[in-house]
Amino acid sequence: MGPSHCVVWDMAYNKDYELELTQFEISELELGSGSHGVVYEGTLGGLPVAVKSVRNGVEKQVLLALLDELKIMIYLGKHDHIVDLKGACTQFLEQGDDGSLEAFLRKNRGNFCPDVSGCYVNVDSGRTGRATTTSNDQEFTTQNLLQWSTQIAKGMCYLEANKVIHGDLAVRNVLMKSISYIKITDFGLSRQLTNTDTYVKSHKAMLPWRHMAIEAMREFRFTSKSDVWSYGVTVWEIFTLGSTPYPGMNWTPEFLQFLEDSMRLYKPKHASDA
Per the residue annotation, which of 68, 168, 186, 227 is the catalytic one? 168
CB atoms within 10 A of CB 252: 10
Catalytic: 84? no
86 is in an annotated binding site: no
DSSP-assigned states of every residue in 121-176:
-----SSTTTT----TT--EEHHHHHHHHHHHHHHHHHHHHTTEE-S--SGGGEEE
Contacts 24+ apart (CB under 8 A), 106-112: 106/241, 106/242, 107/136, 108/134, 108/136, 108/137, 108/138, 108/140, 109/241, 109/242, 111/137, 111/138, 111/139, 111/140, 112/139, 112/140, 112/141, 112/241, 112/270
Residues with active-site annotation: 168
Indicate the annotated binding residues for ATP.
52
